Structure 1
Amino acid sequence: MGVTIVPVSAPAGRFSAAVRRMEPRVHRDILAITLTPSDALVHRFVADLERRGLPRVNTARQM
């Protein structure tokens, strides 16, 4: 099971799935790896994770 972020326009035709909350709640660790620069949607997703308490770790290598 994973999470995928896609634009609303990506699914062709009618979307035949449902989005439901997990009951009981499932808690998982989150790791977000992005390219630099990333697009606006990825930037907003990572910013939301940080607002919710996920710490940022900069793994960029210094040359």
Structure 2
Amino acid sequence: MKSDTFDMAYKIRTWIPVDEEEQELYESLDQALDMLEQLKAMHPENIYKLVEVRSEPEVKDLKK
């Protein structure tokens, strides 16, 4: 017997983080937080995460 009520349907959405080709680095936490808020306002459907980047040691040329 068919009910007159609407049966709820569900789906799963997946957000996969994608690294950009060129990433912009911010010199201060305040600058990064300001840009994060702007991105969230422009694209609220996206998920953003602030990541701390540590400087890497220089790679030495071993062909000497």
Q: When the two structures are superposed, what TM-score results if normalisation uses the length of structure 2?
A: 0.25
Say which structure, 1 or 2, has more relative contact order (CA 8 Å, 6+ apart).
2
Q: When the two structures are superposed, what TM-score results if normalisation uses the length of structure 1?
A: 0.25
Larger radius of gyration: 2
